[in-house]
Chains A and B, each alone.
Chain A
Amino acid sequence: MAPRQSDIERSLRTKFHFQDSLGKGHDHICIERNLPNGSFVWTKFSRGTREVPKALQAAIARQIGVRRDDLMRMVGCTMSEQQYLAIAEPPQY
């Protein structure tokens, strides 16, 4: 079963210490996390609890610098925060 966006958001917040981004979002929940190399990742969620299809899982995973299967491991609690920080690919800016 596909994870719900609220599950992904909750996992990123509680286990991987993503925080609300500054500024006011339009219709989205925006969260971000600093990376050890002085960069950061940022992602957004629509408000609601609907299931996230694979293509959207991949888009969210890309925003936080991992692959879709890594994101699923993060949500499934089989990846630690340290493991995430070790593999997270910072954006190119």
Chain B
Amino acid sequence: MQVTQQTRPTRRPTASCSHWKMPSFATVSSRSKVTVADCGSVFGVERIHFVAFSATEWKLLQPIILDVERLSNGQVIVSDDVFRLFGAGAGLERALHDYETTLVDFYISVEAGVLAGRPGRERALTRLSAYMTRVDSSQSGA
């Protein structure tokens, strides 16, 4: 797990981020069952660690740091710096669910691009594979 000093929380989370738990991980979303941890703020930017998929077919191999942006209309946008992906929705849970869906869509798209010989996809898939993998259903007990 790659956690730098910069990503450590500097203050207690706001009331809207009630799933604070440090240092262990916490399941925070009943709707999406996306697991995040380490809610906090760095230089005024709210950050969380995406640490597990709700979808049982996928496994996250290392956390992805997400910036959280809360809009005045209640919309929330979460985004990462690794793949430049984002998720949006009415509230954090929906935004996280959207992000998870996007991450899976991106993986499937890149994987298909590799098979089709499209340029740049192999490098992207290598990077993605450092963060996520499919779960072998025969081993997952599903």
Contacts and interface: CB of A to CB of B under 8 A. Distances in A.
B8 interface: no
Contacts, number: 81
A16 interface: no
Contacts of B108: 23-24
B86 A93 contact: no
B101 interface: yes
B101 A26 contact: yes
A42 B110 CA distance: 9
B77 A32 contact: no
A22 interface: yes
B77 A55 contact: yes
Interface of B: 69, 71, 73, 75, 77, 79, 82-86, 88, 101-102, 104-106, 108-113, 116, 118-121, 123-124, 126-128
